[in-house]
Amino acid sequence: MGKLFGTDGIRGIVGEDLTHDLAMKIGEAAAYVLGGKKDLVVLIGRDTRISGQMLSSALSAGFMSQGAKVIDLGVVPTPAVSYLVKKYKATIGAMISASHNPSEYNGIKLFNNEGFKLPDKTENEIEKYLLGKAVPTTNVVGTYEVCDTAVEDYVNHKVDTAGKINKDLKIVVDCAYGSASATAPLLFNQLGLDATFMNFEYDGFNINDNAGSTHLEGLIKMVKKEKADVGIAYDGDA
């Protein structure tokens, strides 16, 4: 493992450890290392942090500087990026999230064309370009588009693979003001479950704030109040 990449990509406080400049360099270096001479298609998803759009724009610019076609998935869970990379036949997937951390943090995690986390060897190769080695320039400019089917395609996949569902259960779902806010209500309603949702009205700053898997007190209280059978808590990137 290198100096920048941890177990879940590159994370840190935005503007200090993780800057827009670093995000652009990550896109540029990843495109060069993973793309070779192929036509690059890159999917980018993010959680609800206020810094997500800025980092997504910078990351996109880096990818496009190497001729990549960038497809913006918007707010989606991390597993959605992993799944959609393969479904959409993309070359690279990127998720912008710091999971359970407070909103001032963010991170960038990369996936290969099979939807798996990059091996350490590949991350180390990318890191060489982030720590000083220059990425060869190209005169090919990439493109950018927004995908409006990502949430629907991911939720449909989860429904299709859910198996037998006990629809008699009453559940409470804590979305942590994060990525689950975009998918959990659709998923559980589509499954026909009696579900109460909490902490889904995000504002970019409240992700994981006294909510979700790291703060279970509110969920416990709501489960008792609703006389529910089950409580489910997500973290920031679901």
- Map residue 84 onto helix, strand or coil: helix
Catalytic residues: 99
Q: Where are the alpha helices (DSSP H) in 36-119?
A: 52-64, 78-87
Cα separation, 126 vs 128, whole angstroms: 5
Terminal-residue alpha carbon distance, the chain: 25
Cα separation, 106 vs 60, whole angstroms: 16
- The tokens describing 38, both together, are 């192929």
DSSP string for residues in 113-168: TTSPBPPHHHHHHHHHHHTTPPPPP-S---EEEE-SSHHHHHHHHHHHT--S--TT
- The tokens describing 13, both together, are 């406080």
